[in-house]
Structure 1
Amino acid sequence: MSRDAAEAETPERTAGEAIVLPEDAEHRLGETVRLLRQRAGFSIQELARRTGLSTGMISQLERGLASPSIRSLRLLSVALGVPISYFFEPHAPDPSSQYIVRRNDRRLLRLTASGVLKESLTPAQGGALEIYELTLNPGASSGADFVQHVGEKAVYVLAGRVRIWLDHEPHVLAAGDSVCFPSTVPHMFDNPEQEVARAIWVTTLHSGPPAREG
Structure 2
Amino acid sequence: MLGGKAMKEEPGSLESIQIGSRLRSWRLASGLSLHKVADTSGLSPGYISQVERGLANPSLESLKRLADAVGMRIGDLFVDEGDGSPESSRFFVTKRGMRKQIRYPGSGILNELLTPDLQRQFEAIWVEAQPGATSGGHPHSHAGEECGVVIFGSMRFWVGNADLELAAGDSIYLDSTVPHRWVATGTEPLVAVWMITPPTF
Asked if Structure 1 and Structure 2 have the same fold, meaning a TM-score greater than 0.5 normalized by the shorter chain, the answer is yes
Long gaps (5+) in structure 2? none
Q: Is the 8 A contact 2:127 2:193 kept in 1?
A: yes
Verify: 1:73 aligned to 2:66, yes or no: no
Q: Which amino acid aligns with 1:165?
A: W
Partners of 1:34 and 1:87 lie apart in 2 by 12
Verify: 1:128 aligned to 2:121, yes or no: yes
Residue 174 of structure 1 and its aligned partner are, at CA, apart by: 0.6
One of 45, 50, 63 as aligned partner of 1:55: 45
Q: What residue number does 2:100 align with? A: 107
Q: What residue number does 2:74 align with? A: 84
SS at 2:97's partner residue?
Answer: helix
Q: What residue number does 1:204 align with? A: 197
Residue 52 of structure 1 and its aligned partner are, at CA, apart by: 4.0
SS at 1:30's partner residue?
Answer: helix
Partners of 1:55 and 1:186 lie apart in 2 by 28
Long gaps (5+) in structure 1? 1-12, 208-214
Partners of 2:76 and 2:37 lie apart in 1 by 17
Q: What residue number does 1:39 align with? A: 29
Instruction: Name the count of aligned residue pairs.
Output: 194
Q: What residue number does 1:7 align with? A: none
One of 176, 180, 184 as aligned partner of 1:187: 180
RMSD over aligned CA atoms reads 2.8
Q: What residue number does 2:162 align with? A: 169
Partners of 2:144 and 2:32 lie apart in 1 by 26
Q: Is the 8 A contact 1:153 1:201 kept in 2?
A: yes
TM-score, with length taken from structure 2: 0.81
Identity of aligned residues (%): 34
Q: Structure 1 residues 36 and 140, CA, compared in 2 at 3 Å: closer, same or farther?
A: same
Residue 70 of structure 1 and its aligned partner are, at CA, apart by: 3.5
Q: Which amino acid aligns with 2:122?
A: L
Q: What residue number does 2:111 align with? A: 118
